[in-house]
Amino acid sequence: MPWNMQDYPSSLKNLDTAVRKKAIDIANTMLEEGYKEGEAIPIATEQAKEWQKNASDKEIEQLKQASQKEIESADGDDSARPELTDKDVYVKPHENGWAVQSKSAKQPSDTFSEKQEAVSRAEEIARNKETSVIVQKQDGSTQKTYKPS
């Protein structure tokens, strides 16, 4: 369900073209990482606005002219949030049950009362990122590490 310039959240419609393109790119990367839409959209918007403040006129113009395919191929899948790519997905004990959290994430993307629900969500995220799932036991030790198919 990646967004593009023809199909994107309505909250991005009033942004400048370059900022909208950058926000879409960042938000898509965050969704791949397991962030929820409600979290990804405002974060991506703020990061895109910050990018615009620091970008040169040439960079902004290049992004405005670029097609979605050019943006994706130039950036790779990880340029918007490089700290979130290629990170394994953990299922770990949490005060609310079980958390699904990428290795470098500051907080879980999801929490579940049932461990199997958390494992299913972690597998979905890991498949999208082509990374591994690491399932922990209640004591925090590793129960199982695998790459979902």
Task: List, for residues 49-108, the tens digit of each pLDDT value.
Answer: 998 998 888 888 888 777 655 555 444 444 444 555 568 899 999 998 999 988 877 778
Q: Tell me, what's the pLDDT at 66?
A: 73
| pTM of the shown model | 0.49
Q: Where are the beta strands (DSSP E) in 13-96?
A: 89-94
Three-state secondary structure string covering the chain: CCCCCCCCCHHHCCCCHHHHHHHHHHHHHHHHCCCCHHHHHHHHHHHHHHHHHHCCHHHHHHHHHCCHHHHHHHHCCCCCCHHHCCCCEEEEEECCEEEEEECCCCCCCEEECCHHHHHHHHHHHHHHHCCCEEEECCCCCEEEEECCC
Mean pLDDT of 110-133: 90
Query: Using alpha carbons only, what angle is made at residue 31 by residues 23 and 96, rounded to the nearest 5 degrees?
Result: 130
What DSSP character marks residue 14? Answer: T
Q: Tell me, what's the pLDDT at 70?
A: 56
Task: For strands 133-136 and 89-94, give the pairing.
Answer: parallel
Q: Lowest mean pLDDT: which of 103-107, 134-138, 140-144?
A: 103-107
Q: Tell me, what's the pLDDT at 78?
A: 41
What DSSP character marks residue 137? Answer: P
Mean pLDDT of 109-121: 92
Q: Tell me, what's the pLDDT at 127?
A: 84
Task: List, for residues 2-30, the tens digit of each pLDDT value.
Answer: 788 888 888 999 998 889 999 998 888 88
